[in-house]
Amino acid sequence: MQDTGARPVSRPVETPANPRFSSGPCAKPPTFSLDKLADAPLGRSHRAPIGKARLKAAIDGTREVLGIPDSHRIGIVPASDTGAVEMAMWTMLGARPVEMLAWESFGAGWVTDAVKQLKLDAIVKTADYGEIVDLTSVDTNNDVVFTWNGTTSGVRVPNGDWIAEDRAGITICDATSAAFAQELPWDKLDVTTFSWQKVLGGEAAHGMLVLSPRAVERLESYTPDRPLPKIFRLSKGCKLIEGIFEGATINTPSMLAVEDYLAALDWARSVGGLQGLFARADANAQAIHDFCDARDWIANLAVDPATRSNTSVCLRFTDPTIADPAAFAKAVAKRLDDAGAAHDIGAYRDAPPGLRIWCGGTVETADIKALLPWIDWVYAAERG
């Protein structure tokens, strides 16, 4: 039986042990403590042997935990996932026709960059929040840029079946809220980007750039007819700058953040590696799905269950008697925050009004379950 919210709801007694459900930066691993960073080589050059070793360990650990093939290069780059996506777009696009896919705000941002900044005559395919474009209509003989998981819409790509194995184009995939939580088909992704501060709860400003052999071939065979800032340059003299993918970063990284990422990778191994991370995120998201299925005043923003995210779970209030959905959702998020039940779970500013609850593997399912009665109570209290 669905809960209409009409009956009185008691104020919960217990709050989540960790009410940090922000979708970025995300919750630290449950075992995190500052003591784990004590051996960070602070005050040392990242070019010194100790710095290079820690950066190389971060690259090798990423490959190990994510199961990235040995054929793919992995680099640590500046400016978080945004920097990694921009590097790929500015250095690789223009060689072939381009299709830009967007179903949320970050994907829309890549469309803006491609069309207005790079001046590409791109084919643009968009879908409303909660939906996804018709992936079967995408021609992967063109270059394709897309987000795997819509962090602001809670909609994810269900699989990579639509990407042709014999494609002529390259795929550029923003996977920042998917990596470490969702299966990524590395044979179908030529450029994959993500940041430390999402699924593993790392610190900000560092991006990861994963290149397939096809992406490397593009970098070594195509020189775009545009100026490239130093921070974007991945090749020199038509040859890949290999050092970037061996720990020789383009600019100075934070060795404290590197140490934090290494600790997060250790934690990931301790919970069963990639499959353990998948299971944790799935359990978190399922608890919210079950909650919504039992109530007729709240629902998942994702229209098709097959495309529901298991990390950035976005919800909307479906009660038709709510006069101002935006004000109502904002009031609910504020009251949850004030109660210490959930911090930073308001919908993204460009998204439809509602809630956005991070469910990645660093979040404990017990905390998700402790939050849900608070949503019941706050909804009832706001309805009066």
Domain-embedded: residue 25: no
- pLDDT tens digits, one per residue of 39-83: 999 999 999 999 999 999 999 999 999 999 999 999 999 999 999
- pLDDT tens digits, one per residue of 316-374: 999 999 999 999 999 999 999 999 999 999 999 999 999 999 999 999 999 999 999 99
What does the radius of gyration of the chain's CA atoms come to, in whole angstroms? 21
Of residues 279, 260, 257, the one with CA closest to residue 364:
279
Last residue of a domain, one of 234, 250, 269: 269
What share of the chain has pLDDT > 70, as a percent?
98
Is the per-residue pLDDT at 260 higher than 60? yes
Domain-embedded: residue 320: yes
Is the per-residue pLDDT at 290 higher than 60? yes
Cα-Cα-Cα-Cα dihedral sign, residues 157, 148, 357, 109:
negative
Is the per-residue pLDDT at 5 higher than 90? no
Is the per-residue pLDDT at 1 higher than 50? no
Angle at 303 between CA 300 and CA 304, to 5 degrees: 110
Q: What is the pLDDT of residue 3?
A: 53
Is the per-residue pLDDT at 34 higher than 60? yes
Q: How far is the C-alpha of 118 from the C-alpha of 107, rounded, in Å?
A: 15
- Mean pLDDT computed over 273-295: 98
DSSP 8-class letter at 117: I
Chain center to CA of 236: 30
CATH code assigned at 61:
3.40.640.10
Q: What is the pLDDT of residue 283?
A: 98
What share of the chain has pLDDT > 90, as a percent?
97
- Mean pLDDT computed over 135-157: 98
Q: What is the mean pLDDT of the chain?
A: 96
**Cα end-to-end distance, the chain, whole Å:** 22
Domain-embedded: residue 346: yes
Domain-embedded: residue 159: yes
Same domain, 38 and 50: yes
CATH code assigned at 303:
3.90.1150.10
Same domain, 239 and 277: no
Last residue of a domain, one of 215, 234, 269: 269
Last residue of a domain, one of 249, 269, 289: 269
Q: What is the pLDDT of residue 7?
A: 54
Is the per-residue pLDDT at 268 higher than 60? yes
Q: How far is the C-alpha of 211 from the C-alpha of 242, rounded, in Å?
A: 12
Give the domain extent around 291: 272-383
How many folded domains does the chain comprise? 2
Same domain, 163 and 286: no
Q: How far is the C-alpha of 95 from the C-alpha of 223, rounded, in Å?
A: 9
Cα-Cα-Cα-Cα dihedral sign, residues 304, 114, 120, 245:
negative
Domain-embedded: residue 89: yes
Same domain, 194 and 283: no
Q: How far is the C-alpha of 233 from the C-alpha of 249, rounded, in Å?
A: 11
Of residues 156, 102, 172, 162, the one with CA closest to residue 138:
162
Dmax (CA) of the chain = 70
Domain-embedded: residue 225: yes
Residue listed under structure tokens 């979708």: 23
Q: List C-alpha distances in Å: 363 to 21, 30, 75, 85, 236.
A: 8, 7, 27, 26, 42
- Mean pLDDT computed over 24-44: 97
Residue 378 · residue 180 · CB < 8 Å: no
Same domain, 232 and 339: no
- pLDDT tens digits, one per residue of 112-143: 999 999 999 999 999 999 999 999 999 999 99
Both structure tokens of 111 = 């469309």
- Mean pLDDT computed over 259-274: 98
Same domain, 155 and 43: yes
Same domain, 260 and 189: yes
Q: What is the pLDDT of residue 384?
A: 84
Same domain, 318 and 223: no
What is the DSSP code string of 187-226? TT-SEEEEETTSTT---SSEEEEEE-HHHHHHHHH---SS
Same domain, 242 and 287: no
Domain-embedded: residue 77: yes
Is the per-residue pLDDT at 8 higher than 90? no
